[in-house]
C-alpha cells in the first residue's frame, strides 16, 4: 500500500475513532448532551438518535475525501474533504468534552478549558476549507495564474481567524473565559476584527470563488465541463434541501413534530448536504461522468411535470368544489375527478415538457431528432437511389456535423 493511500484511509479511520469516542462520552456523561442537538431534542430510543447523529455528521466528506485522496493523491480536494470532516468532528467532540468537564462534573475530566479553546478553533475551519476546495475544483488547481494570489489570501485569512479565536477575549462559555485571551484594548480590537472577518470577509471570499467558478466554466470544455455540471447539480440539491429545512422552521420546529417527521426532515437535510461530496467525488474520479446530462434532463422534465400537475390538481379541486357544491355535500367527488384528470394528463404534459426542455436546453439533440423524423417521412416512399443517397448524406451532415461524409454501396452480386 502506498504511503498516501495509508494516510488517506488513516484520516478516515481517525474520523471514525472520534465519532465513537464522542458517542461513548455522551453515554458516560449524559449531562454533557447539547440541548440543541438531536439527542437534546428527541427523547426517543438512543439507537435512533445515534443513527440521526450519524446522518447529520459530515461522514460523506470523510469517505469521499479518503477515496479521492487514495486514488488521486496529487489532487488536494480529497485531503481538504478529509480535513473538513475531521475539523467538524473535532469541534463536536471538544464541545461535548468541555460540557462534560465544566458543566456536568468538573472533577471527572481534566482539560475542559482547553477543550473549549479547541472547539472554538475548529468551529470555523470547515467554512474556510470548503471555499478553498471550491476554488480548486475539479482539477486541484486555480482556474488560471491570475487567481493564484487568492490562494495566499486564503492562507492568511485562515491563519488570522485561528489566531484571533485563540487569543481573543470571546464571551465566556459555560462560565469560562479564554484562559490565553489578550485583555484590554488589544483584546477588544481582536474581537472587532473577527466581527469583520467572519462573516464579512468570508462572504466576500465566497463571492470571489463563485466568480472563479464562472470563469472556469467559460474556459472549460469536454470532461471538465461535465465535472462542473455534476458539482453544480449537487450544490443545487444541497441548497434546495437546506433552504427548505430552515424555511419550514429548522431544528426547533421539527423537534416539536412527530418523530417520523423529524427523522424524514433530518434525512432530507443530511441527504442534500451529502450530495455535495458525492457529486464532487463522481466528478473527480470520472465515474459515469456523462450520465449527468441524462440526470439533468430527467430532473427538469419530471420536476416541471410534477409542479404543473400539482397546480392543475389543486386548481381543479377548488373549481369543482364550487361547481358541485349546490348538488352534492362534501368534496370527495371533486377530489376523485381531479385525481383522474391528473393521471390522464400526466403523459401528454410530460411529453410536451420534454419537447420544450429539449428545444430550450438540448437544442442540438432537438434539431437532430427533427431532422431524422423529416428524413424518415421523405424516404418512406423514395425509390430513386440517387435521391436516397443525397437525402441520407444531408441528414448525416446536419445531425452529426462530420468534417466529411461519403456513402458506399456494394455492387449487387452477379
- Provide the pLDDT for residue 64: 92
- Provide the pLDDT for residue 22: 83
Domain ranges of the chain: 3-290, 300-361
Please count the other Cβ atoms lying within 10 Å of the Cβ belonging to residue 17. 12
Which helix (H) or strand (E) covers residue 65, if one does? helix 59-71
- Provide the pLDDT for residue 295: 73
Which helix (H) or strand (E) covers residue 233, if one does? helix 223-247
User: In the CATH scheme, what architecture does the domain 3-290 have?
Assistant: Up-down Bundle (1.20)
Rg of the chain over Cα atoms, rounded to whole angstroms, equals: 29
Cα distance between residue 335 and residue 314, in whole Å: 9
- What are the backbone dihedrals phi and psi of residue 33, each rounded to the nearest 5 degrees, phi first? -65, 130
Per-residue pLDDT of the chain (414 residues; tens, 9 = 90+): 688 999 999 999 999 898 888 888 877 777 666 655 554 545 444 555 556 666 667 888 999 999 999 989 999 999 999 999 999 889 888 888 888 887 666 556 777 788 888 888 888 888 889 888 989 998 888 888 888 888 888 888 888 888 888 887 766 666 677 777 777 777 778 778 887 888 788 888 889 988 998 889 888 877 888 888 888 888 888 888 888 888 887 777 777 777 777 778 877 888 888 888 998 998 888 877 667 677 777 777 877 888 888 888 777 777 766 666 666 655 666 667 777 777 788 888 888 887 777 776 665 565 566 666 666 766 666 666 666 667 676 766 666 666 667 767 676 665
Helix axes 59-71, 259-285, angle to 10 degrees: 10
Cβ–Cβ < 8 Å for 129, 83: yes
- Provide the pLDDT for residue 108: 62
- Provide the pLDDT for residue 65: 92
* Total residue length of the chain: 414
- Provide the pLDDT for residue 383: 60
- Provide the pLDDT for residue 327: 61
Amino acid at each position: 500500500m502506498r504511503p498516501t493511500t495509508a494516510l488517506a484511509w488513516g484520516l478516515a479511520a481517525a474520523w471514525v475513532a472520534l465519532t465513537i469516542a464522542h458517542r461513548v462520552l455522551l453515554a458516560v456523561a449524559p449531562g454533557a448532551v447539547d440541548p440543541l442537538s438531536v439527542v437534546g431534542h428527541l427523547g426517543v430510543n438512543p439507537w435512533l438518535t445515534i443513527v440521526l447523529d450519524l446522518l447529520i455528521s459530515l461522514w460523506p466528506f470523510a469517505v469521499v475525501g479518503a477515496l479521492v485522496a487514495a486514488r488521486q493523491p496529487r489532487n488536494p480536494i480529497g485531503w481538504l474533504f478529509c480535513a473538513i470532516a475531521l475539523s467538524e468532528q473535532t469541534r463536536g467532540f471538544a464541545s461535548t468534552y468541555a460540557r462534560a468537564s465544566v458543566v456536568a462534573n468538573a472533577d471527572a475530566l481534566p482539560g475542559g478549558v482547553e477543550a473549549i479553546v479547541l472547539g472554538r478553533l475548529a468551529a470555523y475551519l470547515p467554512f474556510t476549507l470548503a471555499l478553498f476546495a471550491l476554488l480548486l475544483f475539479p482539477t486541484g488547481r486555480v482556474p488560471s495564474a491570475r487567481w493564484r494570489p487568492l490562494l495566499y489570501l486564503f492562507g492568511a485569512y485562515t491563519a488570522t481567524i485561528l489566531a484571533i479565536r485563540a487569543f481573543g477575549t470571546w464571551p465566556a462559555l459555560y462560565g469560562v473565559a479564554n484562559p490565553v485571551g489578550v485583555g484590554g484594548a488589544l483584546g477588544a480590537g481582536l474581537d472587532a476584527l473577527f466581527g469583520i472577518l467572519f462573516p464579512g470577509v468570508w462572504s466576500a471570499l465566497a463571492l470571489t470563488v463563485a466568480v472563479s467558478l464562472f470563469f472556469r466554466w467559460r474556459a472549460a470544455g469536454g470532461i471538465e465541463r461535465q465535472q462542473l455540471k455534476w458539482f453544480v447539480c449537487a450544490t443545487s440539491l444541497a441548497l434546495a434541501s437546506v433552504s427548505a429545512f430552515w424555511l419550514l422552521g429548522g431544528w426547533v420546529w421539527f423537534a416539536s413534530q412527530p418523530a417520523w417527521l423529524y427523522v424524514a426532515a433530518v434525512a432530507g437535510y443530511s441527504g442534500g448536504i451529502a450530495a455535495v461530496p458525492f457529486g464532487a467525488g463522481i466528478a473527480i474520479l470520472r465515474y459515469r461522468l456523462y450520465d449527468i446530462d441524462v440526470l439533468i434532463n430527467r430532473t427538469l422534465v419530471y420536476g416541471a411535470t410534477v409542479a404543473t400537475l400539482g397546480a392543475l390538481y389543486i386548481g381543479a379541486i377548488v373549481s369543482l368544489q364550487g361547481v358541485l357544491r349546490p348538488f352534492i355535500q362534501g368534496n370527495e367527488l371533486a377530489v376523485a375527478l381531479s385525481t383522474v384528470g391528473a393521471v390522464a394528463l400526466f403523459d401528454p404534459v410530460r411529453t410536451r415538457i420534454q419537447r420544450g426542455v429539449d428545444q430550450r436546453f438540448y437544442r442540438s439533440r432537438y434539431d437532430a431528432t427533427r431532422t431524422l423524423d423529416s428524413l424518415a417521412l421523405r424516404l418512406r416512399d423514395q425509390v430513386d437511389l440517387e435521391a436516397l443517397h443525397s437525402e441520407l448524406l444531408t441528414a448525416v451532415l446536419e445531425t452529426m456535423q462530420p468534417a466529411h461524409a461519403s456513402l458506399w454501396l456494394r455492387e449487387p452480386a452477379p
